[in-house]
Amino acid sequence: MLIVCSPEELGLCPRRWALMLARAEELCRTGTIPALSLHVQRQGRTTGVHHFGTRKLNRPVAVDSHTLFLVASLTKPMVAMATLILVERGQMLLNQQVHEFLPEMKQAGKRAMTIRHLLTHTSGLPDMLPNNEELRNDHAPLSRFVEESCHTELIFPPGRTAQYQSMGYALLGEIIQRVSGRSCADFLQQELFHPLGMTQSFLGLPSDSPDHQRVAEIELAEPLRSATSWNWNSAYWRELGAPWGGVLTTAEDLAKFLRMMLAGRNADQHSAPLSPESLREAVENRLHDFAAIPDSERRARGWGLGWRLNWKDHRHAFCDLLPNDVAGHWGATGTLFWIDPAREMGVVLLGTRPLNDHPSPLTGLSNMIAAAFV
């Protein structure tokens, strides 16, 4: 449990912390980010959740503790940790080949692909399928994405390099279902969210759920804005529960997830979903496990098991002022979280302005938060 305290008790410079909060408020007041929730923790303490802006694009409905954010690819580290739960239970191994769980993956070139490859973005699968928009326009179920992923061509042989691949997480969701006998959404709910007290987290909302009214609307650019039946604000996408990007949650709930990742050996091992060994393995640079990956890529563009390292030379670095072993993830809808295990710090920034080809204002807030710690 996180203890709410003053900025000074958290080890923050009051002046710099106040400047960061003022900047967050300004970003929402000027419409740069329509809605924003942020949470900062250190060594089990926090100042609480701070909310800004409006969750409705066409009318002022203040963001509050009940506002749900579609966090996009922040889903991936959660699915990765669910996968490690099955590894800890002896129900799979990281170096087991994917075709042992999905016989559809037996074709030449894919037989060598392992669970480890899926988790580390080294599988050779594409990020999105060539007919991704057609599938969404048809309101395809998850099974269609899995089927298409099993038959799509690889971009490179597994283990030769790392390239971001959402479809690897589509397969992980299916593997979790086949191994556990429960949907990925149910497995996350029962084995991760519930034990951590994440009562406002969902991998997909039921069609009749009143929680749809709580979701912060994402400010979309064309052509997504016109794709009203399948874009991020559509009922279809909110209900799909995509293992690569479908979690809806709050900053407070994600703070509990990050607390699990940071607690390590201080956690109550009788109730924690995962062991300290798994938590440590997940956030360290696992590209060093692959001999064929070029050294420059391993050093500057590291991946853990579902967790990205802080790519300092990339426009979407988590923070300019922290080392490259800080672990976290971006979400395309305009979300970010990261942890600094060395200082036991965690930051959640949930916005509704999608990422684009320019550095995100969330990185600026990250910089101000890092600079506020003394």
The encoded tokens of residue 302 equal: 């590291």
Summarised one tens digit per residue, pLDDT across range 50-93 is 999 999 999 999 999 999 999 999 999 999 999 999 999 999 99
Task: Please indicate, yes or no, whether residues 135 and 280 belong to a single structural domain of this protein.
Answer: no
Summarised one tens digit per residue, pLDDT across range 219-259 is 998 889 999 999 999 999 999 999 999 999 999 999 999 99
CA atoms of 65 and 69, how far apart (whole Å): 11
Domains held by the chain: number:
2
Last residue of a domain, one of 159, 182, 205: 182
Domain span including residue 109: 78-182
pLDDT of residue 21: 98
Task: Please indicate, yes or no, whether residues 318 and 368 belong to a single structural domain of this protein.
Answer: yes
Last residue of a domain, one of 155, 182, 209: 182
Cβ 328 vs Cβ 310: under 8 Å: yes
Summarised one tens digit per residue, pLDDT across range 305-357 is 999 999 999 999 999 999 999 999 999 999 999 999 999 999 999 999 999 99
Last residue of a domain, one of 122, 148, 182: 182
Q: Out of 33-37, 108-112, 133-137, pick the least confident.
A: 108-112
The encoded tokens of residue 350 equal: 């949930």
For the beta carbon of residue 64, count every other beta carbon within 10 angstroms.
Answer: 12
Tell how far CA 306 is from the center of its chain: 8
Task: Please indicate, yes or no, whether residues 97 and 44 belong to a single structural domain of this protein.
Answer: no
**Residue (of 183, 146, 139) closest to 168 by Cα position:** 146
pLDDT of residue 108: 83
Task: Please indicate, yes or no, whether residues 234 and 323 belong to a single structural domain of this protein.
Answer: yes
Task: Please indicate, yes or no, whether residues 32 and 174 belong to a single structural domain of this protein.
Answer: no
Please tell me the pTM assigned to this model.
0.97
Task: Please indicate, yes or no, whether residues 167 and 92 belong to a single structural domain of this protein.
Answer: yes
Residues ≥6 apart with Cβ < 8 Å to 141: 240
Look up tokens 């080890």; give the residue: 11
Q: Report, as an integer, the average pLDDT of 258-278.
A: 81
